[in-house]
Structure 1
Amino acid sequence: MTVSIKTPQEIDALRVAGRLAAQLLGMIGEHVRPGISTDALNDICEQYTTQVLGCTSAPLGYHGFPKSICTSVNHVVCHGIPNDKPLKRGDIVNIDVTVIKDDYHGDTSAMFYVGEPTIQARRLCETSYEALWVGIGMVRPGMRLGDLGHAIQSHAEARNYSIVREYCGHGIGRQFHEEPQVLHYGIPGTGLVLEPGMVFTIEPMLNAGKRHVKLLADGWTVVTKDHSLSAQWEHMVLVTDSGVEVLTLREGETPS
């Protein structure tokens, strides 16, 4: 495993890309409402990405992915393809955006409520957000990725949620997906030792039911096998000399 240590110039570029991705994700929230399609949300994001941010949408055309964002509704775990089906009141949807600015990637995602969610859906989304910040709180030089994964897994399972194991966080920079793979489960004291200058995403996927998932025939959409709800949040982080810097904080969002 070769994990790149980013230079100060690369870190500055990733800060810019992360900030712009956060701006895009913050913008789209007001458009998530009953009756709008995820296709329409995709078009709004693509226009904002290119015309306002001056960026490129990284998912568009990535290994053949047909859209500019991923929209994962209810029991869709990740990589949902935007379509023309209207969102319904009570739906929950993860919107995952990645922009490219001056060759560097900014990657982040969040859960959104379509109208008022059920108590169960709200609790799942809130717990997945907590799990993200539990993981972020573990990041510092000398920490192992197994410790980070174990902390996230423990937080989720203590609240009777399961952790998806087939998909994980990843290093990021000039490439969309780099080493290391950042698992959201693990054994303390194992895995890569973190060093200053590493940049990667943390993006735990929590299921309300069992952890098992399946890939649909489109080759992208991943759903829970038992049709239970799933929720995910994602931030891009930098390992600093003393701890962690979150590169994709949205306006008004404070570290938990």
Structure 2
Amino acid sequence: MFRRSVYKKPAQLRGMVAPGEITAAALDAVAEAIRPGVTTLELDRIAEEAITARGAHSNFQLVPGYSHTVCVSVNEQVVHGIPTERVLEAGDIVSVDCGAETPEGWNGDSARTFIVPGEAADPSLVAQRQELSDVTRGSMWAGIAALASSSHLGQVGAVIQDHIEANPLPSTGQPAGILRDYVGHGIGRKMHEEPTLFHYATPGRGAEIKPGLCICVEPMMTAGSDEVFVEDDDWTITTVDGSSGAHWEHSVAVHAGGIWVLTAPDGGAEALASYGVTPVPIP
């Protein structure tokens, strides 16, 4: 049984709006800066400036042992990559995970995957990376849309897996690999709260979806095997077979009137339209 405290009151849901908007603004700033020649550490600085300029601070820096504003994972790295002096090249696939906490103590968390523009050495690899990002993003939106009609989080995980299996990568003919040990999570006063959201079908029903739930939907996928390892920095998660990784994430609020994607500028309206779901602002 999940604690009742994971479900937020209307006033608390309203407090979640600002950190979501700030997190989205930071990722917008990163998106504008993605190009060949930029370092992942520069992206970290850009995100931090965007967050602090809006009166908030990075919640990633509150994680014990982590001192950066974002995680930047490149090519075979799937998630939790540490910003460094690594220079991005045309055709790289780059996942940027970011979060902000307001002075009131509410949190946002979101991730996007980018393909570095420009003429790349291997166009076919770039095409495969774009396929991977697209199907990962699509699975996230399918899961978010499912929040509007499902009763439990287990149904959402099954929808995400169904999307992946129904949309194999054209370049390989195989579904993307779903990371099994890295999950979605509740969000609120802390960046990581209960309940857990698995991005695949599980025997359990999972937490009840009802007004007050704030959940991060964040599928992490690979273009090959789902087997990964932790690099020597004790953070970066990398594919064993060297295949590319992708990571998309949004923070979503469920309220009495519907759902609202806290880290999307339009609440998710454009992406959710194809699912027949209209997001409703938190009153």
TM-score, structure 2 normalization:
0.85
Give the match for residue 159 of structure 2. 151
CA contact (8 A) 1:150 1:188 kept: no
Question: Secondary structure of the residue that 2:64 maps to in structure 1?
Answer: helix
**Structure 2: which 5+ runs fail to align?**
169-174, 273-283
1:165 pairs with one of 160, 173, 180? 180
Q: CA deviation at 1:99?
A: 0.4
| CA positional deviation for 1:157 | 2.3
CA-CA distance at 1:243 after TM superposition:
3.4
Question: Given the alignment of the two structures, is residue 203 of structure 1 paired with residue 211 of structure 2, yes or no?
Answer: no
Which whole-Å CA distance do the structure 1 matches of 2:165 and 2:217 have between them? 17
Distance (Å, rounded) in 1 between the aligned partners of 2:9 and 2:211: 10
Residue 146 of structure 2 is matched in structure 1 by 138
Change in 2 beyond 3 A, CA 1:225/1:42: same
**Which residue does 1:119 correspond to in 2?**
127
| Distance of 1:252 and 1:192 partners within structure 2 | 23
Aligned length: 255
Determine if contact 2:29/2:46 at 8 Å carries over to the other structure: no
Q: Which residue of 1 aligns with 2:193?
A: 178
- Tell me whether 1:33 sits opposite 2:35 in the alignment: yes
User: C-alpha separation between the residues in 1 aligned to 2:180 and 2:132?
Assistant: 17
Give me the whole-angstrom Cα distance separating, in 2, the residues matched to 1:57 and 1:113.
Answer: 24
How far apart are 1:145 and its partner, in Å? 1.2
Q: Distance in 2 between matches of 1:85 and 1:232?
A: 19
Query: In structure 1, what is the equivalent of residue 90 of structure 2?
Result: 89
User: Percent of aligned positions with the same letter in both sequences?
Assistant: 36
Q: Which runs of 4+ in 1 moved over 6 A?
A: none
Q: Distance in 2 between matches of 1:197 and 1:43?
A: 33
The question of 1:244 aligning with 2:259 is answered yes
Q: What amino acid does structure 2 have at the position aligned with 1:245? A: W
Question: 2:70 is matched by which residue type in structure 1?
Answer: I
State whether residues 170 and 180 of structure 1, in contact with CA within 8 Å, keep that contact through their aligned partners in structure 2. yes
- Alpha carbon RMSD of aligned pairs, Å? 1.8
Structure 1 residue identity aligned to 2:10: P
Distance across 1 between alignment mates of 2:55 and 2:209: 33
Per the normalisation by structure 1, the TM-score is 0.94
- Helix, strand or coil at the partner of 2:156: helix
Counterparts of 1:34 and 1:40, CA distance in 2: 12
